Each structure stands twice: as structure tokens, then as C-alpha cells.
Amino acid sequence: MNCDSIQKLIALYSEGDLGAAQATTVETHLLSCAACQSFLNELEASQAMVKALAAETLDPASFDRVRQRVMEEVSRAQVAHTPWWRLPHSVLAGWSPAWAVGLALVLGLGFLLPWRFWREPAAPEPREHAVASGSPTHQQVAASPTPVSSAEAVQKPELRQLALRRKVLPRHRLALAAQGEPESIAAETEQPVEQGAVLGVETTPPADIVAEPLPPLLIKLMTDDPNIVIVWLVDLETQEK
């Protein structure tokens, strides 16, 4: 075996990576070759330098930075996969302003908006709004098999019982809602609803002219996470006949 081939083996021999037979071949050659003997010494020196790299310590800040970034992602992923009622208090506490604002809007708009429109029966805008948002037209309402008679209730809005139904959609539905697929929500609620803008509020036409069912009030609260949209549906159906 020539020195070139032996030196390839020496690269393994120096770290104990050869089997017994090949190690013996190398050792036999080394006994009679001074060049390969010094090659072995040099290799041991360079290997010592290479292996010394293992003792190099890394900046602790690097570890912290990586861990912090990973844990941020992990908690984001956990929030996205956890129903809201199982979220840890810390997460909910972090959202408390959003929750407070959302709840205030639901309650405030749920009571104030219908009251305002009933007090100003001539206001035309809400009607257009409702048509634009996919609510049934008057003709459709007239043909509807189950028209809701709300004339009495309309005259006494303060007596109406607002059935407040807070609907929290399953995660996949929320994701779909965020991607702009109103059918998914429609399927879930069986009500004609439309995507709103951030905190978009859709309301009903004035109900004093024709008795017609009131589409639900849809309030969507966008969070920092694009995958999480909190949807409230305020059901305005009357309780009386």
C-alpha cells in the first residue's frame, strides 16, 4: 500500500475509527515510513485544534433569544388550538380590553340600535344596509312561511326580550370565517349573515312598516391573531306572538 492510501487510513486511525485488521496495516507501515509517522503527528495536532472547538461556549443570550422566540410561537399555537373556555387565565387577562370592548358593543348596540331605528321609522339607510348585506327582501319575507309578527313588540321595544345568543364557532369555522367564506357561518347559524368589516355591525330595517323577521345582529371582533375572530350573534327575534 502506498503512502497516499495509508494517509487516508491514518485520518481514521488517529481517532480510533479503524477496525483491527486495517489498524494493523497502518501500524506496520508506520514502523517503516518516517513520512507517514510525521503525517500522523501533524494530523493529531490539527485534530486537537478541531476538537477543541467543542469547548467553545456560546453566548447565553443566544439561547435565551431562541427559547423566547420559540415559546412565543408555541403559546400562539396553543391559543389557536384551544377553545376559549379552556384558555389559561393569563391569556384571557391579556385580552381583557378586547373582551370588555366586545361585550360593551354587544350589549350597547343590541339595545341602542334597534331602539334608535324604531324611534325614527323614516330612516331609510338601514333598509339598504340590510339588502346589501343579503337579508331577505320584503317580497321574500311576505312569501316566507313563518313570518314573525313583531308589531306589538315594535311598539314596545322596552318589553322585548332580546335573546342574546353568544355563538362561539369551532376553530375550523373561525378559520373559514377569517378567510371570507360566509356560507360556513350561514350553515352554522341558518341565518343570512354577511361578512362585516372590523367590528362591522349590520342591523335590520325598521320593522314598523311590514312585519318581518329580524336578521341577527352580527358582531365580529378581530384579534391580533388573524386566525381568531370572535363572533357574536345577537338574536332579535321576538318572544311574543
Name the site residues for another protein (rule: CB under 8 A): 7-9, 11-12, 14-15, 17, 38, 41-43, 45-47, 49-54, 56, 58-59, 62-63, 65-67, 69-71, 73-75, 77-78
> Which partner from the list another protein, Zn ion, none does 168 bind, CB cut-off 5 to 8 Å by kind?
none
> Which partner from the list Zn ion, another protein, none does 62 bind, CB cut-off 5 to 8 Å by kind?
another protein
Q: Which is nearer to another protein, 73 or 158 (CB)?
A: 73
Q: Which is nearer to another protein, 18 or 176 (CB)?
A: 18
Q: Which is nearer to Zn ion, 33 or 87 (CB)?
A: 33
> Which partner from the list Zn ion, another protein, none does 36 bind, CB cut-off 5 to 8 Å by kind?
Zn ion
Q: Which is nearer to Zn ion, 32 or 62 (CB)?
A: 32
SS3 for 176?
Answer: helix
Return the residues of window 17-76 that contact Zn ion according to CB under 5 A: 33, 36
Q: Which of 223, 179, 175, 182 is nearest to 199 (CA)?
A: 223
> Which partner from the list Zn ion, another protein, none does 33 bind, CB cut-off 5 to 8 Å by kind?
Zn ion
> DSSP secondary structure string, 72-118?
HHHHHHHHHHS-GGGS-HHHHHHTHHHHHHHHHHHHHHHHHHHHHHH
Dihedral angle at the C-alpha atoms of 189, 191, 197, 201, nearest 10 degrees?
Answer: -110
In the numeric block, the cell 507517514 is attached to 36
Residue 194 — φ and ψ, nearest 5°?
Answer: -130, 155
How many Å apart are CA 215 and CA 130, to the nearest integer?
9
Q: Which is nearer to another protein, 55 or 198 (CB)?
A: 55
Rg (CA), the chain: 37
Q: Say whether residue 11 binds Zn ion (CB under 5 A).
A: no
Residues that bind Zn ion (CB under 5 A): 3, 33, 36
